[in-house]
Amino acid sequence: MKIYIDGTLHEESDARISVLDHGLLYGDGVFEGIRFYNGRVFRLEEHLDRLYKSARSILLQIPITLEEMTAAVLQTCRANGLNDGYIRLVITRGKGAMGLSPYSCPKASVIIIACGIKLYSEEAYRAGLTMATCATRRPSHDILSPQVKSLNYLNNIMAKVEALQAGAEEGIMLNERGLVAECTGDNVFIVRHGAIATPPISSGALDGITRAVVFEVATQLGITIREAEISRHDIYTADECFLTGTAAEVIAATKLDQRVIGDGHPGPVTQRVISRFREIASSTGTPF
């Protein structure tokens, strides 16, 4: 595997960052996860737009232009000889002095990894995921904007641990009002009477790239879709439920907190969305 670090491609065994990098010491940085299919990077422009907005929000100056970043991503994909896979694009604050101040870091670092990924098993995609509600809450807007994809992911990790310890594959995270925000790594959608609903970003949901694609897909398929505040009760009593994320793509969820959702199988609306999403993902994107 060849990994891009600050303008140079390195073999994995030779890829290095400083132990004084504030991304390592304090989780100070931002990231994006991006998919590529059939030699095309899916929604690259949207991912990079979100990356630069996350960086701007935390006063992190990305040291290369958007055009240079695009070229670097495509270069890394080509260098690894993969047609399908996953890109992890990381911007760290860079090397600096001990202490929280980011102003001791003269220049941020850019790291790009292109590799394979398999988030869930084939059985999970066929039968649907089991979910559990997590006690760990999604941070509110007055703590850190949910739209910043920060390197400090411990909140989500602890929620994921809770879900796994409960025997589930994914966890539902609530906001400070006890309403559903999102999952530990995915956006959540429910289907009732043939219409789709998902929590608004004001509820703490990430404005996901795959989430946005689902809105496009629903419009193309003539399915009503809207943002609405959702409680756990709404998921328990939904006809269908599915999750979206760059790594997860689109996957059904069929159980939450031991309650079977719908008939316990991926529903017809979910299956239509998955089918159309796969068509779009496999045939569009930025070629490399």
**Active-site annotation, residues:** 149
Question: What's the pTM?
Answer: 0.95
Domains of the chain: 2-115 (3.30.470.10), 122-283 (3.20.10.10)
Token look-up 């496009």 returns 216
Q: Residues of 128-139 as b/e, b for ≥16 C-beta within 10 angstroms?
A: bbbbbbbebbbb
The first and second tokens of residue 4, run together, are 């891009």
Res. 18 pLDDT band, cuts 50 70 90: very high
Mean pLDDT of 62-81: 98
Token look-up 């897909």 returns 217
pLDDT in tens, 110-127: 999 999 998 899 999 999
First to last CA, the chain: 17
pLDDT in tens, 160-180: 999 999 999 999 999 999 999
Q: What does the alpha-carbon distance between residue 92 and residue 10 come to, in Å, rounded to a whole number?
A: 17
Mean pLDDT of 21-32: 98
